[in-house]
A and B are shown apart, each in its own frame.
Chain A
Amino acid sequence: MSLEINGKSYETDEEGYLANLSDWSHDLAEAMAREDGCDLTDNHWEVVNFLREYYDEYQIAPAVRVLTKAIGKRLGKDKGNSRYLYELFPYGPAKQACKYAGLPKPTGCV
């Protein structure tokens, strides 16, 4: 499968996750979100950027429980809970945010 953005084509898997991490850009993240009917706010970006850093360090996309805990430690308890994260990413925080971050589908995912 592929994703057409601004006249360019990007290879994805069958669920829309980017095949090549290196294809990722800010604009591409926003375009992917737009296709899902989602506007990326600063709060969304905090999570997306966190996931990119996590992947860079550990070479995996974290499971949602691990993400929630780590966000809590980094950004405070009011953001490190599933209610807040599901409000931002209703299709499942790890799953949806990983997609916009250009990462593969998370290991042990929701």
Chain B
Amino acid sequence: MSEEFTSGTVKKFLYVNRRAPHGSNYAQEGLEVALIGAAFEQDVAMAYLDDGVFQLKSGQDTGKIGTKNFSATYRALGDYDVKRVYVERESLERRGLSQEDLMPLVYKDEDDDWEEKPLIHVVSAEEMRRIIDESDVILNF
């Protein structure tokens, strides 16, 4: 094995989320796995398509279904140095949603006096295809 690999190559991971947040464990598990990957300094990006866009909706309340409201955890993505969160525009539009319906996620840019910068990028299906294509490892949840 070459030196480059043994010393740890940073791969581009993309976590693709397609399911609504609270009906199954997929959303929460996907988020946790992504955070673990980011904690080990992989280059992590998130993609939200289809019903997955509901995961980022603001004002979620799980009180009546008795599960943990883990939607607060998306706000930790920035702390874990995840700086790219992509949401497919077509998926939002088909569900009557727009960026204003989503949580205003930010990260604090260490290189720019900790200025808060937006994490969420709404992209077209075409751009999403390119983002998926350019990733080294793709994990579906």
Task: Tell me the A residues contacting B by CB distance below 8 Å.
Answer: 57-60, 62-66, 69-70, 73, 107-108
Q: Are B39 and A60 closer than 8 Å at their CB atoms?
A: no
**In the assembly, what is the distance between CA of A62 and CA of B77, in Å?**
11
**In the assembly, what is the distance between CA of A73 and CA of B113, in Å?**
12
Q: Are A58 and B35 closer than 8 Å at their CB atoms?
A: no
Q: What is the interface size of chain B, counting residues whose CB is below 8 A from a CB of the partner?
A: 18
Q: Are A108 and B36 closer than 8 Å at their CB atoms?
A: yes
**Can you give 19 contacting A-B residue pairs, CB < 8 Å?**
A57-B72, A58-B72, A59-B72, A59-B73, A60-B35, A62-B76, A63-B36, A63-B39, A63-B80, A66-B39, A66-B76, A66-B80, A73-B114, A107-B32, A107-B36, A108-B35, A108-B36, A108-B37, A108-B40
User: Is B101 in the interface zone, CB < 8 Å from A?
Assistant: no
The chain A residue with its CB closest to the CB of B69 is A59
Q: Are B68 and A59 closer than 8 Å at their CB atoms?
A: yes
